[in-house]
Amino acid sequence: MKRTINRVVIILSCFLMFNASAQLPPVFNAEEYVDVRESALTRKAFPPVGIVWVSDNSGEFIKNSENILNPGIGQADLNLGDYLTLVHDGNHQPGIVLDFGKEIQGGIELVTTINNSNPAGRIRVRFGESVAEAMSEVQENGATNDHAMRDFEVTLPWLGRIDLGQTGFRFVRIDLVEPDTQLEIKEINAAFVYRDIPYLGSFRSNDERLNDIWLTGAYTVHLNMQDYLWDGIKRDRLVWVGDLHPEVMTVNSVFGYNEVVSKSLDLARDLTPLPGWMNGISSYSMWWIILHRDWYLYQGDLEYLKEQQDYLSALLRHLAAKIDDSGKEVLDGNRFLDWPTSEIPEAVHAGLQSLMVMSFEAGAELSKILGDKETHALCIRATGKLKKHVPGMAGSKQAAALLAISGLVSPEKANADVLAMDGSKRMSTFYGYYMLQARALVGDYLGALNNIREYWGGMLDLGATTFWEDFNIEWMENAARIDEVVPEGKIDVHGTYGDYCYVSYRHSLCHGWASGPTAWLTEHVLGIKVLEPGGKKILLVPHLGDLEWVEGTFPTSFGVLEVKHIKLSDGSVMTTWKAPKGVTIVKN
């Protein structure tokens, strides 16, 4: 016995001596692998906040359902308890719909107990951005598994944890599909995957509706800031370059610099050797140019801009070849602005003509910064040539907005004849941002604010916690909220409406291109106008409209700017601010 103890002591001493004199090898050494992909994403788990629906209220087939709302630790154990129990007697298939409170990107984790069979049983999981979607069948009203698996079956372990799903959702339906089975579940937690970054920008006013809209737009883009900047977290989960522009303007206003933007812009460039169009769409290559102009203005990263010079100059030369002798654009590829205009060729042409002007103006600015005199001169010539041809507005708010922004049509005419007509009718989630920008050019800030309250606020009224791929204000009539089982006599707004690629439940209810009011409110109401790259010089020019006060913050490359505006009794505005060192403030 004494000899055994001594042997253990000797072995332990040798181990301690080795550990003290030499570092033990790591469990995983990334340097041993050629292509290790890292992620900036964080995962956090939390329980559901409510139960929306159960298939049985008798207590016979679904037991202890309220206990699934209790916080858990994500760990199986040997203890017994009053856990959620689903009983399938061969006839009755038990199911439950859980609400996690807000739209999130990620999946769920389930923890089973010792009381189960081995394996525990087979369940069906259905994720939904609305309650109705979570209760739908694949192929029913557009419900799909196209880009993320949101409807599938899986066998659960007897005693353990399993992680399921990777999609955009707020609601989850779980059904026990294996007959003659009793399933006990200790925990069902959301597994939220996101970038853990601070909201450096902020917006607060005496109008809580506007405050909610600003924050919802910010949150919508935040969810889409995954490894790349996506269009939507359920679908398409892709880098669509046109969609990026309103998203990036929101990133500029809320988060400041983030590497997800440059990663996404570079991905689009690297996937698109010229003469190809980004995403196959000519306007999206033009948005890439405009994006670089705006990203440089807000972030001031000259070295990154220099990396784009070769592709930028070649793209501008390629675009210049798509102008005929009369100054008219003759772009090929997919001629696309947004879905609502896709069947109006005159509106598409007007928008493309405008985007050509905007792209060459942005190209001229960037080429001057880069010292590329040849490309700068090409841009000036192309802009002058394009301005000889002025298309009509075709009654389209999208076309009118871009014609006004490009200067081809006066903002006054665009606003009076098209943009100010019919309130929020004929707006779109993507081009709504540019409609607001065009109304600001003519000083119609109150009209724009009312559009924001009615159009984006309408989605909030229907239970949205993120903004949607598309929305029509007329959908509001007799519509049920998306966070409830559709009452009899009400319209399922998610399952009933939608068009083109977003029919019914395929419709994304978290789409970054719909975040425009966040950037717009920061620029025009909070009054932040960036004059020099990185926010080195900022003009404060607030437009409160019918607001009494507004305050907020804005991220610059030098730190966070704090601003507050109060409307005085005589209608004038008193402005105070606190600027970081290195930022010069100019007050209008």
- Residues 196-203: what's their mean pLDDT? 98
* Nearest-angstrom CA–CA distance, 327 and 349: 13
Mean model confidence pLDDT for the chain: 94
Radius of gyration of the chain (CA): 28
- Is the pTM higher than 0.75? The answer reads yes
pLDDT band at 4 (very low <50, low <70, confident <90, very high): very low
CA distance 518 to 499: 26
pLDDT at residue 203 tops 50: yes
Among 451, 436, 442, CA closest to 409: 442
CA dist 381 and 369 (Å) reads 18
Find all residues with CB under 8 Å of 110, minimum gap 6, and list them: 156, 161, 162, 164, 185, 187, 188
3-state per-residue secondary structure call for 437-457: HHHHHCCCHHHHHHHHHHHHH
Cα 84 from Cα 121, distance rounded (Å): 14
Three-state DSSP class for 61? coil
pLDDT tens digits for range 317-332: 999 999 999 999 999 9
Handedness of CA 498, 502, 506, 508 (dihedral sign): negative
Residue 418 — pLDDT band, cuts 50, 70, 90? very high
Q: Is the pLDDT of residue 126 over 60?
A: yes
Domains of the chain: 2-32 (no CATH), 42-194 (2.60.120.260), 202-469+508-540 (1.50.10.10)
User: At 176, is the pLDDT very low, low, confident or very high (cuts 50, 70, 90)?
Assistant: very high
Distance (Å, whole) CA 253 – CA 199: 9
Statement: residue 3 has pLDDT above 70: no
Report the pLDDT averaged over residues 416-429.
96
Query: What's the gap between Cα 43 and its chain centre?
Result: 18
Spatial contact of 303 and 252, defined as CB atoms under 8 Å apart: no
CA distance 474 to 489: 17
Residue-level pLDDT at 24:
56
Confidence of residue 26 (pLDDT cuts 50, 70, 90): low
pLDDT tens per residue, range 353-410: 999 999 999 999 999 999 999 999 999 999 999 999 999 999 999 999 999 999 999 9
Element (H, E) at 411: helix 411-414
Amino acid sitting at position 248: V
Encoded amino acid at 83, one letter? Y
Percent of the chain with pLDDT over 90: 92
CA atoms within 13 Å, Cβ hemisphere of 326: 7
Q: Which residue has better confidence, 461 or 34?
A: 461
Question: Among the listed ranges 20-24, 191-195, 383-387, 402-406, which one has the minimum average pLDDT value?
Answer: 20-24
